[in-house]
């Protein structure tokens, strides 16, 4: 076990897989000489050279399409978006070209590709740089959507993504890049589609992913002071979702609250609660609840931003209200 | 030790510690102490700084010592060459015409006629309600696909938009599986899940069949990227129309293809109308062959109604690309006789315009006449070929009509592997 940042865990996953397979390459804006806008690709150009670590012009639609073509041609591209916000420029290639080709070709052409980069809000970067795309991509058949929380998962899940024969959306988080967590030694993979119970509990199930896991864990600390023992589930995989783990937890706690940083309308919480209501309705002691971003484009000012995204305090408060009034 | 001598030389060549520290600052924005830079003479240049030093050496015309390069680094990627010997591309010498053997003319005739009879049959079946959805026919444009195909190799990759039936057949795909796909049958090339616009045949190096106008262009340069990455001498032929030529990602693709010298022929099938909009109303600067100029991509305008012209231009282009010169644009001036799709009555142009093109420029008629005039075939022989093709097409269409519809189990397969 070693203590490493999420940033380094992602870098190590890329480097280790690239050492194994010469067909893997990394492409994106500033990934080479600059070593990544968020320094995720540190040292990769020096190790692998500019044939495999490719600095692109600022041309998201173009290089995303190029990567899809390279995947058709037998390579394994890792496409870095400086932030996922910029992937809107390229979303046609991700959805229409990468996600649908296997189906439209009757299984003849698969697209092994990883699209990765920081997703969601950072610190005061305002509406156009803070979009959480998780629910958009989770809506699309033909994509795998992953979003890790800690370093161990970031590394193991990225390895799974790189080795997947399918297009994988890998949603990282800028604020988590600097957080350190323990990472197991050696080569390992976290299987796609498996959630992780981050904290076991019996009174209420909190389901979240990415930075929301941190918020939920912090909230559970506040709740424990009120003698409420919350179970915190890290989804890890947003498509497919591990409903089995969620429903088993609900059968135990009889309460569920989802926590996400995206908007609630047609969001991941809506999807999870719909499934829980259909499959475990009789186990619920109270109506399920969703917590998410306020229904506004994210504002810039610090105080406004803090109000707009779920905090541990807000999650704890809503949990208490929920449990006490139902 | 040897590394340190080389590092020392590199630093001296680039002006020593102080000057190099300044150069590095202006190139990367990172401020380095000149003593640190100077110390690299003894300790060797850290790997992290090697790429930018290589860039500076290349930029200033110095030789880069081989052992200074990092593993996997390709010096060609640092080189910027603006001058190209493009005269050879534009020479109008007709000596090439000698390459056009009677056999080649016969093949042009057979293959273009096959495409035409296929598409005519598709049009009939659509009219009968057997084919659904959008369906775009290639009738009139046959010279392009046939002429191009004759000039490239099977190992080359081909990709196009949604007017794709002809390109598949030219690549060698059995018309039966295309008919079956159009009819939504189990034997269809995509098991009935793609339809007219989405067909892929990797075995014949055909990569779609794309329904979003222009989106196939960056994918096409991606295929070229993979061919270069794998050190092959193969190329990608990336087809798109005059309508797609206005999409932003086409220019993004020109830029990257030229920057990285990707082996790609951009083949623009300019049939004069992007759906119902004339190129005159849609493109500023109607000369699409010149749209690559500011990206340093040469372009040739070609009579796309003549397979011989197409073939000769394609040979030149393929040769240019395979010699490592990077991309080239071929603008095929062509014409489609039918509407944009089966549901288009084509009111944006006159009947006379279409009739004039059919009478004066039809690629099949002109090759047929050439075969007859040069006594390569007699009237009876050309008619017999037509009859054989009609029979083959009719048999394959009937077989597809009688085949099983797509299996319901196909709904859930091939979403993910």
Provide ipTM, 2 decimals: 0.95
Is residue A215 a contact partner of residue A319, using CB atoms and an 8 Å limit? no
β pairing state of A180-183 and A2-5: antiparallel
Mean pLDDT of A134-147: 98
Kindly state whether residue B416 falls inside one of the protein's structural domains. no
Which member of A47, A72, A106 has the closest CB to residue B219? A72
Separation CA B368–CA B113 (nearest Å): 10
Q: Is residue B75 located within the same domain as residue B111?
A: no
Residue B111 falls in which region: left (phi positive, over 0), alpha (psi -120 to 50) or beta: alpha
Q: Is residue B173 located within the same domain as residue B207?
A: yes
A214 assigned to active site: no
Which member of A48, A66, A108 has the closest CB to residue B218? A66
Q: Is residue B328 located within the same domain as residue B219?
A: yes
Task: Report residue B19 as tokens.
Answer: 């000057």
Burial class for B313, CB neighbours closer than 10 Å (0-12, 13-18, 19+): buried
DSSP B189: T
The C-alpha angle with vertex A312 and arms to A309 and A313, in degrees rounded to 5, equals: 100
Residue (of A175, A176, A231, A184) closest to A203 by Cα position: A231
Q: Is pLDDT larger for residue B294 or for residue B63?
A: B294
Task: Report residue A214 as tokens.
Answer: 């941190």
- Kindly report the pTM of this predicted structure: 0.91
Is residue B141 a contact partner of residue B166, using CB atoms and an 8 Å limit? yes
Residue with tokens 């999807």: A271
Q: Is residue B169 located within the same domain as residue B310?
A: yes
Separation CA A199–CA A234 (nearest Å): 9
Question: What pLDDT is attached to residue B124?
Answer: 96
Indicate yes or no: CB of B191 within 8 angstroms of CB of A106: yes
A75 touches chain B (CB under 8 A): yes
Kindly state whether residue B406 falls inside one of the protein's structural domains. no
Question: What pLDDT is attached to residue B233?
Answer: 97
Separation CA A15–CA A298 (nearest Å): 35
Indicate yes or no: CB of A102 within 8 angstroms of CB of B78: no
Q: Is the model's pLDDT at A175 over the cut of 80?
A: yes
Average pLDDT over chain A, rounded to whole?
Answer: 97
Kindly state whether residue B88 falls inside one of the protein's structural domains. no
pLDDT in tens, B208-235: 999 999 999 999 999 999 999 999 999 9
DSSP B80: -
Q: Provide the 3-class DSSP secondary structure of residue B349.
A: coil
Q: Which domain holds residue B391?
A: 99-401
Kindly state whether residue B414 falls inside one of the protein's structural domains. no
Q: Is residue B162 located within the same domain as residue B259?
A: yes
Question: What pLDDT is attached to residue B2?
Answer: 58
The helix-helix angle for B142-151 and B363-373 (nearest 10°) equals 60
Q: Where are the alpha helices (DSSP H) in B321-350?
A: none
Counting the structural domains of chain B, the total is: 2
Residue (of B4, B243, B229) closest to A49 by Cα position: B229
Indicate yes or no: CB of A49 within 8 angstroms of CB of B72: yes
Return the CATH number at B251: 3.40.50.970
Is residue A168 a contact partner of residue A137, using CB atoms and an 8 Å limit? no
Q: Where are the alpha helices (DSSP H) in B128-274?
A: 142-151, 165-171, 175-182, 216-229, 248-259
A 13-42 residues with CB below 8 A of B?
23, 25, 32-35
Average pLDDT over chain B, rounded to whole?
Answer: 92
Is residue B117 a contact partner of residue B390, using CB atoms and an 8 Å limit? yes
Kindly state whether residue B413 falls inside one of the protein's structural domains. no
Kindly state whether residue B138 falls inside one of the protein's structural domains. yes
Helices (H) and strands (E) in chain B, counts: 16, 8
Tell me what percent of the residues of chain B surpass a pLDDT of 90.
Answer: 71
State in Å, rounded, how far the first CA of chain B is from the last one.
Answer: 51
Q: Is residue B246 located within the same domain as residue B341?
A: yes
Separation CA B267–CA B416 (nearest Å): 32
Mean pLDDT of A5-13: 98
Residues 6+ apart with CB under 8 A from A218: A312
Kindly state whether residue B89 falls inside one of the protein's structural domains. no
pLDDT in tens, B82-128: 445 566 666 655 445 667 899 999 999 999 999 999 999 999 999 99
A 123-162 residues with CB below 8 A of B?
141-142, 144
Interface residue of B30, B409, B414 to substitute, partner A, most A CBs within 10 Å: B414
Interface residue of B215, B240, B416, B417 to substitute, partner A, most A CBs within 10 Å: B416
Question: What pLDDT is attached to residue B83?
Answer: 47
Q: Is residue B256 located within the same domain as residue B289?
A: yes
Task: Report residue A63 as tokens.
Answer: 């290089």
**Using 50, 70 and 90 to split pLDDT, how confident is the model at B79?**
low
Is residue A177 a contact partner of residue A213, using CB atoms and an 8 Å limit? no
Which chain B residues are within 8 Å of A46, Cβ to Cβ? 47-48, 50-51, 70
Mean pLDDT of B332-348: 90
Q: Is residue B67 located within the same domain as residue B125?
A: no
Separation CA A146–CA A150 (nearest Å): 13
pLDDT in tens, A207-242: 999 999 999 999 999 999 999 999 999 999 999 999
Virtual torsion, Cα B142, B148, B153, B154, nearest 10 deg: -30
Q: Strand pairing partners for A234?
A: A196, A208
Indicate yes or no: CB of B211 within 8 angstroms of CB of A96: yes
Mean pLDDT of B374-384: 96
Hey, what domains does chain A have and what are their CATH numbers?
A: 2-183 (3.40.50.970), 196-325 (3.40.50.920)
Q: Is the model's pLDDT at B6 over the cut of 90?
A: no
pLDDT in tens, B158-178: 999 999 999 999 999 999 999
Question: What pLDDT is attached to residue B66?
Answer: 83
Which chain A residues are within 8 Å of B224, Cβ to Cβ? 69
A60 assigned to active site: yes
Separation CA B6–CA B59 (nearest Å): 18
Q: Catalytic residue, from A35, A129, A131, A305: name it.
A: A129
Q: Is the model's pLDDT at A88 over the cut of 90?
A: yes
Q: Is residue B207 located within the same domain as residue B296?
A: yes
Name the minimum distance, in Å, from the CA of A48 to any CA of chain B. Answer: 6
Q: Is residue B10 located within the same domain as residue B67?
A: yes
Q: Is residue B72 located within the same domain as residue B153?
A: no
Is residue A53 a contact partner of residue A78, using CB atoms and an 8 Å limit? no
Separation CA A123–CA A129 (nearest Å): 10
Q: Which residue of B has its CA nearest to A165?
A: B417
Which member of B77, B157, B417 has the closest CB to residue A166? B417
A67 touches chain B (CB under 8 A): yes
Mean pLDDT of A176-190: 97
Kindly state whether residue B186 falls inside one of the protein's structural domains. yes
Separation CA B376–CA B369 (nearest Å): 10
Indicate yes or no: CB of B157 within 8 angstroms of CB of A57: no
The C-alpha angle with vertex B178 and arms to B174 and B182, in degrees rounded to 5, equals: 165
Helix or strand holding residue B302 (H, E): strand B299-303
């Amino acid at each position: 076990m070693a203590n490493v940042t999420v940033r380094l865990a992602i870098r190590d996953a890329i480097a280790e897989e690239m050492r194994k397979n010469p067909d893997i390459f990394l492409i994106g804006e500033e990934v080479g000489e600059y070593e990544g806008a968020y320094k995720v690709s540190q040292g990769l150009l020096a190790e692998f050279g500019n044939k495999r670590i490719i600095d692109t012009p600022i041309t998201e639609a173009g290089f995303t399409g190029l990567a899809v073509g390279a995947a058709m041609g037998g390579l394994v591209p890792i496409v870095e978006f400086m932030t996922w916000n910029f992937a809107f420029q390229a979303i046609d290639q991700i959805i229409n070209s990468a996600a649908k080709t296997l189906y439209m070709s009757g299984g003849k052409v698969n697209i092994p590709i990883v699209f990765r980069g920081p997703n969601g809000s950072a610190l005061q970067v305002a509406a156009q740089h803070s979009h959480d795309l998780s629910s958009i991509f989770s809506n699309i058949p033909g994509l795998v959507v992953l979003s890790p929380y800690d370093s161990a998962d970031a590394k193991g899940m990225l390895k799974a993504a790189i080795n997947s024969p399918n297009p994988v959306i890998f949603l990282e988080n800028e604020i988590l890049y600097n957080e350190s967590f323990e990472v197991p030694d050696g080569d390992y993979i976290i299987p796609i589609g498996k959630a992780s119970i981050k904290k076991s509990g019996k009174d209420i199930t909190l389901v979240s992913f990415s930075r929301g896991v941190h918020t939920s864990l912090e909230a559970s600390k506040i709740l424990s002071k009120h003698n409420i023992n919350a179970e915190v589930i890290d989804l890890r995989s947003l498509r497919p979702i591990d409903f089995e783990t969620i429903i088993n937890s609900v059968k135990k706690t009889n309460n569920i609250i989802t926590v996400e940083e995206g908007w609630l309308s047609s969001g991941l919480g809506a999807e999870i609660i719909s499934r829980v209501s259909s499959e475990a309705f009789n186990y619920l002691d109270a109506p399920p609840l969703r917590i998410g971003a306020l229904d506004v484009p994210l504002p810039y000012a610090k105080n406004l931003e803090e109000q707009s995204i779920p905090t541990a305090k807000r999650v704890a408060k809503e949990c208490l209200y929920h449990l006490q009034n139902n | 030790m040897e590394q340190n001598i080389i590092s020392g030389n590199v630093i001296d060549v680039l002006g020593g510690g102080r000057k190099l520290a300044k150069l590095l600052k202006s190139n990367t924005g990172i401020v380095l102490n000149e003593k640190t830079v100077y110390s690299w003479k003894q300790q060797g240049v850290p790997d992290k700084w090697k790429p930018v030093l290589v860039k500076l050496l290349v930029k200033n015309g110095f030789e880069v010592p081989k052992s200074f390069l990092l593993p996997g680094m390709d010096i060609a990627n640092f080189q910027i060459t603006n001058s190209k010997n493009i005269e050879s591309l534009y020479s109008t010498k007709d000596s090439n015409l000698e390459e056009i053997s009677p056999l080649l003319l016969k093949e042009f005739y057979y293959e273009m006629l096959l495409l035409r009879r296929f598409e005519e049959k598709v049009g009939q079946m659509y009219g009968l309600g057997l084919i659904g959805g959008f369906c775009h026919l290639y009738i009139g444009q046959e010279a392009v696909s046939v002429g191009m195909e004759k000039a490239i190799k099977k190992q080359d990759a081909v990709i196009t938009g949604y007017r794709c039936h002809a390109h598949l057949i030219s690549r060698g795909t059995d018309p039966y599986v295309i008919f079956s796909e159009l009819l939504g049958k189990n034997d269809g090339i995509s098991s009935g899940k793609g339809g007219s616009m989405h067909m892929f045949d990797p075995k014949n190096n055909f990569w779609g069949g794309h329904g979003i106008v222009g989106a196939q262009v960056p994918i096409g340069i991606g295929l070229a990227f993979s061919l270069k990455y794998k050190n092959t001498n193969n190329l990608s032929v990336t087809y798109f129309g005059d309508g797609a030529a206005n999409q932003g990602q086409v220019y993004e693709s020109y830029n990257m293809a030229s920057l990285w010298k990707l082996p790609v022929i951009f083949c623009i099938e300019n049939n004069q109308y992007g759906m119902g909009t004339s190129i005159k109303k849609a493109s500023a600067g109607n000369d699409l062959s010149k749209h690559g100029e500011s990206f340093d991509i040469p372009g040739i305008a070609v009579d796309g109604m003549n397979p011989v012209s197409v073939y000769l231009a394609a040979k030149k282009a393929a040769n240019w690309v395979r010699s490592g010169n990077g991309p080239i644009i071929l603008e095929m001036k062509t014409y489609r006789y039918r509407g944009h799709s089966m549901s288009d009555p084509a009111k944006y142009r006159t009947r006379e315009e279409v009739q004039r093109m059919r009478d004066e420029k039809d690629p099949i008629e002109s090759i047929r006449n050439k075969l007859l005039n040069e006594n390569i075939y007699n009237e009876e022989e050309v008619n017999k070929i037509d009859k054989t093709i009609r029979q083959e097409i009719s048999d394959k269409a009937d077989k597809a009509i009688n085949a099983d519809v797509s299996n319901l189990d196909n709904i859930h397969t091939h979403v993910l592997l």
